Amino acid sequence: MAHLKTGPKIILIILLVVGFVFGLRKPRNLAGFLRRVMKALVPEKAVLPDVKEALMQNVEPVALPSSTSAVCLQR
């Protein structure tokens, strides 16, 4: 394998460092773009109607399920 002299080694190292630094710009710009897209797509707050307005005829609201485990009774 051929060994490089110091001049070409320095030039290659500089090119690699510059390429690495400028190569990191693209993913950083892409991440910023994705953040803006997600902020536009995901609503910050959902406005829900009051319970009285949401009631339909002959339907009563039921409490949400609790975090306790349900018991299944089999006969």
Q: What is the pLDDT of residues 7-62, one digit of tens each?
A: 989 999 999 998 888 887 777 777 777 788 878 877 778 787 776 666 667 767 67
- Nearest by Cα to 61 from 47, 49, 73: 49
In a domain? residue 74: no
For residue 54, what pLDDT is reported? 62
Structural domain for 30, as ranges: 6-44
Task: Report helix, strand or coil for 47.
Answer: coil
In a domain? residue 49: no
In a domain? residue 39: yes
In a domain? residue 40: yes
DSSP 8-state assignment for residue 63: P
Q: What total number of domains does the chain contain?
A: 1
In a domain? residue 1: no
In a domain? residue 15: yes
